[in-house]
Amino acid sequence: MSLALARKWRPKTFSELVGQDHVVNALTNAISQGRMHHAWLFTGTRGVGKTTLARIIAKALNCNALNGADPCGRCDSCLLIDQSRFVDVIELDAASNTQVDNMRELLETAAYKPTVGEYKIFIIDEVHMLSRSAFNAMLKTLEEPPEHVKFILATTDPQKVPVTVLSRCLQFNLKPIPVPIIKAQMAKILDDEKIEFDSQGIELLSRYARGSLRDGLSLLDQSIAQGDGQVKEESVKSMLGIVDDSLVRGLLEASLEQYGNLLVQMIDDIERMGASFSYVLDEMATLIQRLSLFSLTTEGLDEDLIEGYQALVNQTDEEHLQLLYQIATVGKRDLPLAPNEKVGFTMVMLRMMAFLPAVESGGELVKKKSEGHQEPITKAKSIKTSSPKEDKKANVPGVIHTNEDWKKFVSERVATGMAKMLAENAEFRSFNEGVLSLSLDNEHKHLLEDRYKNKLQELIREHLSIQCRLEINAGVASDTLLADQVVESKNRLDQTTKDLEDDPFVKSLKSDLGGILVSESIRPSE
C-alpha cells in the first residue's frame, strides 16, 4: 500500500521545501557559516513546514556528507532520521506530553553527549500545549544548554508561549503558502505520479487548501480517489461542494434585479448539488470585490467576464457594492449561528435584496427587467414610501463623529441595563482608525466592567456596521447625555414650579387660606 502524498512527498532537503524562502535562506546561511543558534522557534498555521524544517535541520547538523547546507540524504544519519530511528534526535509531542515530569525526563538526557551524531537535538511540536511548570522546568536548560544540544520548537499558537521562552529562541514565522506555489507543487507531484489532471482542478484544490500544502495534498489524495485515478475540475467541484462562477454571478444578479422566485430556486439548486453555502458566500464576497476593482482595471479578465461584470456594474454603484460586500462577510461570520446553512444563506441573500441603491417615489424599484423572469418585487402599499434621498440615508450605516452623534446613538440605540448607564455617563473624545474613545468621570469608574463595555461595544458595531474597538478612560466627563437629562429635568421642574406659582387657584389658596407651596412635592408632568 502506497503512502499518502503528504508523507511520500515530504521535503527531505532545504532545496525541496517550497513557499518558505525567507526562512530557508536564513537557515542555510547560518549552517554554511557555522553560526548555529542553540534554540529555534517555528510558528505558523498547520501544514506549512514547521516539523519538516525541524527534521531537515536535524539531518543537516548530523549529516556525514553535508552538501553546502543541504543534508546528503544517503548517509546513515540522514536515513535514520528520515525513518525516525535516530537515537540522538528526540521528538516530543507537547499535546500528549504536557506535564512537568515529561519535560524533566527529557531534559535529564540533555546532559549526556550524543551517542552517534554530532548533536543531540530535541524537537518539541505544539510547544504551546506544555503546562506552565513544564515551561519553567526547561527555561534554564533552554538558556544555557550544553554545547552538543539544540532545541527546535514548533507551534501554531505562539501567543500562548511564555515570553521567557520566546526571548531564548530565534523565531521564524512560516507564512501561508501562496496558491500558485501549491498549484505548481501539485502539478509536479501528479506528473511524477503519472496521474492525469487538468489545471482548473488543481487550481480549485490549491485555493481550498488555504495556505497549507499538507491540507492541499490531503485534498489531492481525496480527489484522486473521487475521480477514479484522475484529477478533473468536475469531480473536484463535486467533492468540495463548489458551484460554478456563473451561478454565483446569477445569484448576485437575481438579488440586484429583485427576482425573488428565481433566487429561491437557485438556492434550492445549490442545496440539491450538495454545495457548501459557506463557500458560495466566500465566492460572492470575492465577486463583489472584483466588481469594485472593475472600474479601475480589467487586466487579467477574460472577454466574457468583462461583459458579464459590466452588466452587473451597470445595475449598482460603488457605495452599494461596499454594502453588499459587508453583508456577505458578516453573513459568512454569522452562518454557524443559523438553524442551518441554507436558512442563514437565504437570509443573507434576502438582506442583499432589502438594501437597494434607489427607489422611485411610487415605491417600485428602479431596476431593469430581464426577459423570461418574474416581475420585480414592489414594496407593499401599506409601507410608507420615501424619496430616493431619504431611502439612501436610511440605508447608510450610522456615524459617530461628534459628542452630539454619541448622545443621539445612546438615546436611540442603548435601551436598558448597566451598558446604558455606562453610555449615559460617558463623553465622546475621538474616533480614529477604528477606535472609539470615550471619557468617563472618575465618580462613575465602577461602571468600567468588561461585561458592560463588551455589550456597549457590540451595540456600537451594529450601529456603525463596521468592526471597531471601544476604549474608555476614567477622567473628566461633563458633557454627557445624563448631564443633559439632569439639566433638562431641572428646567422642567423650574417651569412647573413657576406655572403653579402663577396659577390663579394656587394664588387664592395662598392669600385666602395662608397656604404654602411645598417645592419638594412638585413633580414635572411626563
Q: Are residues 499 and 470 in the same domain?
A: no
Please enumerate, as own/partner, the contacts of 96-105 that have beta carbons within 8 Å and a separation of 24 or more.
Answer: 98/129, 98/130, 98/131, 98/134, 99/131, 99/133, 99/134, 100/131, 100/133, 100/134, 100/136, 100/137, 102/134, 103/130, 103/134, 103/137, 103/138, 104/137
120 Cβ partners below 8 Å, 6+ apart?
A: 88, 89, 90, 109, 110, 112, 113, 114, 148, 149, 150
If asked whether residues 162 and 232 sit together in one domain, one would say: no
Angle at 76 between CA 74 and CA 79, to 5 degrees: 60
Q: Is the pLDDT of residue 368 over 60?
A: no
- Summarised one tens digit per residue, pLDDT across range 233-253 is 888 877 877 777 778 888 888
Task: Determine whether 191 is exposed, middle or buried from the number of CB atoms within 10 Å of its CB (0-12, 13-18, 19+).
Answer: exposed
Task: Output the domain CATH number for residue 338.
Answer: 1.20.272.10
Task: Kindly state the average pLDDT of the residues 298-312.
Answer: 67
Instruction: Output the average pLDDT for the chain.
Output: 80
- Is the pLDDT reported for residue 359 higher than 50? no
Same domain, 34 and 140: yes
Residue 66 forms part of a structural domain: yes
Task: Please check whether residue 95 is in contact with residue 126, taking contact to mean a CB–CB distance below 8 angstroms.
Answer: yes
Please count the structural domains in the chain.
5
pLDDT digits (tens, 9 = 90+) for 263-292: 888 888 888 877 788 888 888 898 888 888
**Is 218 a residue whose pLDDT tops 70?**
yes
Burial of 302 (0-12, 13-18, 19+ CB in 10 A): exposed
Residue 439's SS3 state is strand
CA distance 106 to 121: 11
List the single range of 320-324, 356-360, 520-524 with lowest mean pLDDT.
Answer: 356-360
Instruction: With a cut of 70, say whether residue 115 has pLDDT above it.
Output: yes
Residues 34 and 144 grouped into a single domain: yes
388: Cβ–Cβ under 8 A, 6 or more apart, which residues?
Answer: 358, 359, 360, 361
Amino acid at 212: S
135 and 35 fall within a common domain? yes
CATH number of 84's domain: 3.40.50.300
**What is the arrangement of strands in the sheet containing 149-155, beginning at the earlier edge strand?**
89-93, 120-125, 149-155, 39-43, 170-173
Query: For residue 135, what pLDDT band results from cuts at 50, 70 and 90?
Result: confident
Cα-Cα-Cα-Cα torsion 437, 441, 445, 449, nearest 10 degrees, comes to -30
Note down the domain range covering 189. 179-240
Please indicate, yes or no, whether residues 501 and 437 belong to a single structural domain of this protein. no
- Residues 137-187 have pLDDT tens digits of 888 888 888 888 888 999 988 888 888 888 888 888 998 988 899 999 999
Q: Is residue 494 part of a domain?
A: yes
- Cα–Cα distance for residue pair 99/85, rounded to 1 Å: 24
Residue 456 to residue 442: CA distance in whole angstroms: 19
Q: What is the pTM of this model?
A: 0.57
Which of 173, 191, 223 is where one domain is finished? 173
Rounded Cα distance between 364 and 362, Å, is 6
* Whether 230 and 343 share a structural domain: no
For residues 50 and 11, give the distance between their C-alpha atoms in angstroms, rounded to a whole number. 11
Confidence of residue 347 (pLDDT cuts 50, 70, 90): very high
Task: Identify whether residues 99 and 142 lie together within a single domain.
Answer: yes
- Whether 389 maps to a domain, the answer reads no
Q: Where are the beta strands (DSSP E) in 188-328?
A: 196-197, 230-231
Q: Are residues 204 and 292 in the same domain?
A: no
Determine, yes or no, domain membership for 282: yes
pLDDT reading at 450 higher than 80? no
Pair (123, 234) in one structural domain = no
Is there a single domain that holds both residue 214 and residue 75? no
Q: Residues 6 or more apart from 33 whose CB is under 8 A from it?
A: none
- Domain check: are 215 and 76 in the same one? no
> What is the reported pLDDT for 370?
38
The band of 307, judged by pLDDT with boundaries at 50, 70 and 90, is: low
CA dihedral in degrees (443, 445, 451, 453; nearest 10)?
100
Q: Are 468 and 460 in contact (CB under 8 A)?
A: yes
User: Do the domain assignments include residue 371?
Assistant: no
